[in-house]
A and B are shown apart, each in its own frame.
Chain A
């Protein structure tokens, strides 16, 4: 499943990173503490968080996750949006909370297998 397919299937809004939408999604990680995410998230994971700041974009880039998915309509800061566009990081947003979103992702990943 690609980031674009994920966005379509869960009805998430695509905020940035149009060039990265073809990236494959493999697994999911939920967390807002950035070092925790860097220590535990795996490459190609969808990262569910409410942290939409500049540092989140750096973490997504360096930890090489497939995209950031902001849950509960969390805000994406303007400078973070600009950086995400510059670095081709896909940022999606949904109004659902992380738990409900992760359940959906789990189903979709099972279907895709």
Chain B
């Protein structure tokens, strides 16, 4: 059983609201007294994943489970799926459209950043059905 369970909906194609869910999780963890490094890692990984949902999948649902020693985040979308996960994991590889790049995204660093900042990362993806990402950040108190 997790200490706290949170669920957020991420709306598609709305960059102005992206980051709201990760911001809320950040404040929650701060109030609970989690260490700064862990909070930062969760916040960045979750934001990158949220942005991916906005860019590629018309939004989705984020479930967050907060335990004393770890934070688990599951991000599920009904987007197009990722044809080649290995390629998508490479730094610099991006399929983001130009309008997204003008906002400062699309550097091909999203998935690599998520991997960098989390302790576990798993992607289940089916073309035409959607993608679910599972990420875990361990917390050293």
Annotate B94-110 by CB proximity to A: 1 below 8 A, 0 otherwise: 00000000011101111
Instruction: Check if A39 sits within 8 Å of B19, measured CB to CB.
Output: no
Q: Which residues between 57 and 87 of chain A lie within 8 Å of chain B, taking CB atoms?
A: 58-59, 61-64, 79, 87
B-side interface residues, number (CB < 8 Å): 26
Residue A14 at the B interface, CB < 8 A?
A: no
Residue A54 at the B interface, CB < 8 A?
A: yes
Stretch from B39-47, B58-66, B73-81, B125-133 forming part of the interface with A? B39-47
The CA-CA distance from A43 to B43 in the complex, in Å, is: 13
Q: Which residues between 33 and 72 of chain B lie within 8 Å of chain A, taking CB atoms?
A: 36-37, 39-40, 43-44, 47-48, 51
A-side interface residues, number (CB < 8 Å): 21
Least CB distance, A85 to chain B, in whole angstroms:
15
Instruction: Check if A38 sits within 8 Å of B104, measured CB to CB.
Output: no
Looking at B15, B16, B18, B108, which has the most chain A CB atoms within 10 Å of its CB?
A: B16
Chain A residues within 8 Å of B11, by CB = none
Question: Which residues of A are at the interface with B, using a C-beta cutoff of 8 A?
Answer: 32-36, 38-39, 43, 51, 53-56, 58-59, 61-64, 79, 87
Instruction: Show 9 residue pairs from A and B whose CB-CB distance is below 8 angstroms, ordered by the A residue.
Output: A33-B109, A35-B51, A35-B108, A35-B109, A35-B113, A62-B26, A62-B47, A64-B36, A87-B23
